[in-house]
Amino acid sequence: MDNKAVKKPKLVVAGASGFIGTAVCHELIKQYDVVVLTISRARSEMSDPSIAVTWRYCDLFSRRDVENALADAEYAVYMLHVRTPTSRLDQADAENMNLLLADNFARAAQINNVQQIVFFGGMIAEGNLPCKVLENDNEVLATLSSHTVPVTSICAGIVAGPGGTFIRLLGNMTLRFPIVFIPTWAQKSHQPISVKDVAKAIHFCIGNRETYGRQFQIGGPEIISFPEMMKRTCTALGKKRTFITTNSISPRLYAVWMRLLCRGTNKYVISRLIESLRQNMLAGDNLLQHVIMQDAERCSAALAACVDKTTNQLLPNPRIFTSKEDTTDLRSESRVRSIQRFTLPEEGHAAWLAENFFRWLAEFTKPFIEVKSDRDGSCSFYIRFPRIKLLALTFKPEHSSLHRRMYFITGGALLKPMIERKARLEFRDVLDGRFTIGAIHDYTPRLPWYFYISTQAMVHSLVMRAFQKHLEKTPRKKP
């Protein structure tokens, strides 16, 4: 009899440091060799004997790092949503960072012949959310699906589980005062789902060809209102509160009130919550919903699991255990990330954008800065009086193509050299050329930090806005 253990398929999870990712990993280790990618060095070094997963530090903004991390993986689960700083200074919108991260992951999955990507995101009620919110949420899925690997999309509304952001918001709003105000516009119907059922849904879809290329919206077994969820949260916490419905609180004012009660919560998360409260968020009828409804956990039971029975307090998000170390690391490294999105003229591409950016920059800064381009595509910036090299950009043809231009920032008076990371500038087409991203990663300024913030960082922001306006005036003709 062969006693050798059967080798489990390798599955890579991106974005598993929160409460949903933790539950998903606990579910998936039953059948897979789970590797979790994280940008947190502290989390990658933290041992957790309660769960047999491999935590791997990965610079998810580096295409090469993600390609190496996905080597030999058969399946991948993507739950990345940027809500915390990725550098000491992020001159970038979360939407643009999420777009770039998704593009890295999709390309890496294609190169490594990953069989399937399972994407988990928030539920969207089409036609009710503002166009920008709807578009931003769909972009990650569209980017993951823009390559050859089949993608299964699972979306849920309110997820209830230990450490959940929404449950923490409910708890803070009901614990602080004996009277809780409910806006009249927040009376819509919701279908909260247990985090355990989310994990089961993801597990069901992995390797299930019937789900390849399909999108599912899932919810729990009960349809309840926001006020009812708040009342059940009070019950789970053993508190009694008086609830008053009022039409005098606008969504914007309610968002401000939430931020005051829940300091430290990402404002993007609160904005999404406010938008979801203004509409019905129901899952509808689909294959996956039928599967998880067979033994789905009810809302009251899911809420009870969020409370520490010994202290009668809400359990923390797993991410909190490394938050201080992460903040300390970001401050000590003093790195800068900058990401902008550009819409190019018809049939434009990254190579065209890079060439035009340097040409425009030479004219824009001409009175003060000299921009010198070499034959190999590299570029240097000099201050004219006195003549000092400020920055040197070395073109990397091995990492470049028509739809991507990569430059390493290799020297100059403004750069503080770092041994572990290489500062780089890239231009990259995303979403099949619909947009082009211009990004600076791992730049470490030589200037003292607070002086840098008030000088070079401000100048960079002004220059990129000026270039955006220049592109808007560019004739929409074929480059």
Higher pLDDT, 50 or 174: 174
CA distances from 169 to 54, 117, 226, 230 (A): 31, 31, 12, 10
pLDDT value at residue 131: 44
Chain mean pLDDT for the chain: 90
Listed range (30-39, 79-88, 288-297) with the worst mean pLDDT: 79-88
Query: How far is C-alpha 251 from the chain's CA centre?
Result: 24
In contact, 78 and 14? CB cutoff 8 Å = yes
pLDDT value at residue 421: 75
pLDDT confidence band for 204 (50 / 70 / 90): very high
Provide the phi-psi class of 442: left if phi over 0, else alpha when psi is between -120 and 50, else beta.
left
Q: How does pLDDT run across 268-297, given as a tens digit for each residue?
A: 778 888 888 888 889 988 999 999 998 999
Question: Long-range CB contacts (< 8 A, 24+ apart) of 459-464?
Answer: 460/91, 460/338, 461/91, 463/361, 463/364, 463/365, 464/338, 464/340, 464/438
CA distances from 326 to 36, 38, 82, 302, 446 (A): 17, 11, 14, 30, 22
pLDDT value at residue 417: 83
Q: Which domains does the chain have, with CATH numbers?
A: 10-327 (3.40.50.720), 334-473 (3.30.530.20)
Q: How does pLDDT run across 101-134, given as a tens digit for each residue?
A: 999 999 999 999 999 999 999 887 655 555 455 4
Q: How far apart are the first and last CA of the chain?
A: 68
Instruction: Return the structure tokens found at 240.
Output: 């009694």
**With pLDDT > 90 as the criterion, what percentage of the chain qualifies?**
63
Using DSSP's 3-state secondary structure scheme, residue 223 falls into coil
pLDDT value at residue 418: 77
**With pLDDT > 70 as the criterion, what percentage of the chain qualifies?**
95
pLDDT value at residue 41: 87
pLDDT value at residue 69: 96
Asked whether the predicted pLDDT for residue 442 surpasses 60, the reply is yes
pLDDT value at residue 476: 57
pLDDT confidence band for 1 (50 / 70 / 90): very low
pLDDT value at residue 351: 96
Find, among 123, 145, 134, the residue nearest to 198 by Cα. Answer: 123
Asked whether the predicted pLDDT for residue 46 surpasses 90, the reply is no
Asked whether the predicted pLDDT for residue 169 surpasses 60, the reply is yes
Q: How does pLDDT run across 61-74, given as a tens digit for each residue?
A: 999 999 999 999 99
Provide the phi-psi class of 433: left if phi over 0, else alpha when psi is between -120 and 50, else beta.
left
pLDDT value at residue 259: 85
Q: How does pLDDT run across 242-268, given as a tens digit for each residue?
A: 999 999 899 999 988 888 877 777 777
Summarize the confidence of residues 405-413 as an average pLDDT. 96
pLDDT value at residue 17: 85
